[in-house]
Homo-oligomer: A and B are copies of this chain.
Amino acid sequence: MIESEPSPNGAAEAESSSRKRVVIGDVAARAGVSKSAVSFVFNNRSGVSASARERILRAADELGWRPSARARALSRSHAQAVGLVIRRDPELLSTDPFFPQFMAGVEIGLTAHDYSLVLQVVADEQSERAAYHRFADASRVDGVFLTDVRIGDTRPQDARELGLRAVVIAPEDAASDDGVAIGMNDSDGVRRAVHHLHSLGHRRIAHVMGAPMYVHTEARRRAWREALVDLGLPVGTVVTADFTGASGARATHELLDLPEPPTAIVYGNDLMAIAGVSAATDRGVRVPEDLSVVGFDDIPLAPYALPPLTTVRQNVVAWGTAAAQTLVALVEGRQPPTVRLPPVEFVVRGSTGPTRDRRHA
């Protein structure tokens, strides 16, 4: 199990015997050219004849050589890697569909350019700052994605000072000019939710918001409020929660305890919405007969909730890809492509229905 002979040059090839690492010189020699020629070919630069290029590619292929990311990173002063720091509660991390989807999308954008994604999961703000510093000081990455943007977040400036390129993933209307941003469009989804509830006859529509420090939490709250105002409905009650199931259940109880409880609730995410349904059911309030519920995210479980959850779906994978393309362009000093993100979808399922509120019937 353990190397018997941890050779000083790294035990990595203890097994594969004499075959030492193939380097650019080997390829050059085999193709009968200089190292530079090989380098040129592998960087798609001109200055190599077609026949030489052909021989070089064949030689590299036969030897199974690919440029070492390590050597390349050093000579180019460029890590060919970008970083993502995730700061989350353990609970939220494992329900939130955002990160897995976002990372899957990022991968698509990065792999095309042969960049790597370096990940760091941290629990608190202090570790988060340390993580960005490690990234920058050790030059492990060339740029970072900034997600879960908080109100008054200084990370865009911090990143700039650390010499890291950054792409901010935040709601469109919250995007400042601190850096290049990929705009999420949360407002649209919430607006559609409110309109949907309005069309079902609801007039007392409450909102359970997530952790208030995030700009997207605020964006969703604002969209909810504006939609109500636009429709001429009274602005309902908003309860602050924190995106966890427990907080969603608690907030729901608070709302149902009101003298005039809402007939519909728009939640900041699906987890709180489903916990809300559970809380309502516990006290004999039926969904959707007595209370309509809308979530946000469309987690894979949403169709299987009881009742199936009406919710807002965003194409987070597409954001990830767009963010990655933008960041790579930024790192390479190119003009970032103009990204066109797919529109938000609103998915109507069984947790919303016509109001039975007699007072307004």
Contacts and interface: CB of A to CB of B under 8 A. Distances in A.
A229 interface: no
Contact of A97 (B79, B94, B140): B94
Contacts of A94: 97, 100-101, 299-300
Interface string A66-95: 111111011011110100000000111111
A85 to B, nearest CB: 10
Nearest to A302: B245
A138 B12 contact: no
Contacts of A70: 70, 73-74, 77, 79, 138-140
A24 B1 CA distance: 37
A223 interface: no
Interface footprint category on A: 35 or more
A161 B331 CA distance: 34
A69 B139 contact: yes
Given A165-B12, A300-B244, A304-B249, A69 B101 contact: no
B12 A163 contact: yes
A275 interface: yes
Contacts of A230: none
A333 interface: yes
A7 interface: yes
A3 interface: yes
Contact of A119 (B9, B119, B160, B334): B119
A317 B12 contact: no
A71 B181 CA distance: 32
Given A64-B137, A117-B118, A118-B119, A300 B277 contact: no
B278 A305 contact: yes
A6 interface: yes
B142 A12 contact: yes
Contacts of A69: 79, 138-140
A104 B79 contact: no
Interface string A280-317: 01000000000000000001110111101000000001
Contacts of A77: 9-10, 12, 21, 70
Given A100-B99, A304-B275, A74 B74 contact: yes
Given A107-B120, A278-B308, 17 more contacts: A1-B177, A2-B180, A3-B333, A6-B334, A10-B76, A10-B331, A10-B333, A16-B163, A68-B138, A70-B70, A73-B74, A103-B121, A106-B121, A107-B121, A245-B301, A271-B301, A281-B306
